[in-house]
Amino acid sequence: MSSPDFDTDTADARFLRMVGADAQAVARLREEFTEWLWVRFDLDDVRSSDIVLVVNEALSNAAEYAYRNWKTSDSITLLATHNASTGALVITVADRGEWRPSEPANQKLSRGRGIPLMEALCDHVEIDRTAGGTHVHLGFDRCRLRLDDRSRISA
């Protein structure tokens, strides 16, 4: 029997959460994701640090830019899926707002280093900007599942 949060051997590992677009919610979500990463995967320190760093950048960008001009904040979605056969971990951060990186007030906090950091640390990066929102896809190859955790779950 598997609960919705756990996967069987035949399915890919998955993390899906939706939070409000504010800095506190982003910090809590990042901590939760970091824990999931540590529990499910066997990664070296540099790799796991890189992943948390870029996920934080994508989440922060969504919180900072996406809803700047809206009266009420909307939501940010974080979806991470791992393909056990290829080892590829793909993380998507999606918002439904409209990035306005050209406005000076929005540039204040990061001064544009978030995206270059993503490009430097990820194996693949794709940013889709549409009228309906922004999707940031962060890809990390060769991510191995933690073996002892898998056997605990499938038992």
Q: Which residues bind other proteins (CB under 8 A)?
A: 23-24, 26-28, 30-31, 34-35, 45-46, 49-50, 52-53, 56-57, 60, 63-64, 109-114, 116-117, 120-121
How far apart CA 150 and CA 152 sit, in angstroms, is 5
For residue 34, the minimal CB distance to other proteins (Å) is: 8
The least CB distance from residue 96 to other proteins, in Å, is 20
Minimum CB–partner distance for residue 21 and other proteins (Å): 12
Q: Minimum distance from CB of 60 to other proteins (Å)? A: 5
Instruction: Name the residue nearer to other proteins (CB basis): 30 or 135.
Output: 30
Q: Whose Cβ is closer to other proteins: residue 5's or residue 31's? A: 31
Q: What's the token pair of residue 23?
A: 């800095």
Residue 30 CB neighbours (<10 A): 18
And the tokens for 42? 């066997």
Q: What is the largest CA-CA distance in the chain?
A: 54
Name which of 69 and 86 has its Cβ closer to other proteins. 69
- Across the beta sheet with 13-20, what order do the strands follow? 13-20, 75-82, 89-95, 133-140, 124-130
> For other proteins, which is the closer residue by CB, 12 or 74?
74
Residue 149's identity, in one-letter code, is D
- Closer to other proteins by Cβ: residue 62 or 90: 62
- Give the nearest distance from C-beta 52 to other proteins in angstroms: 6
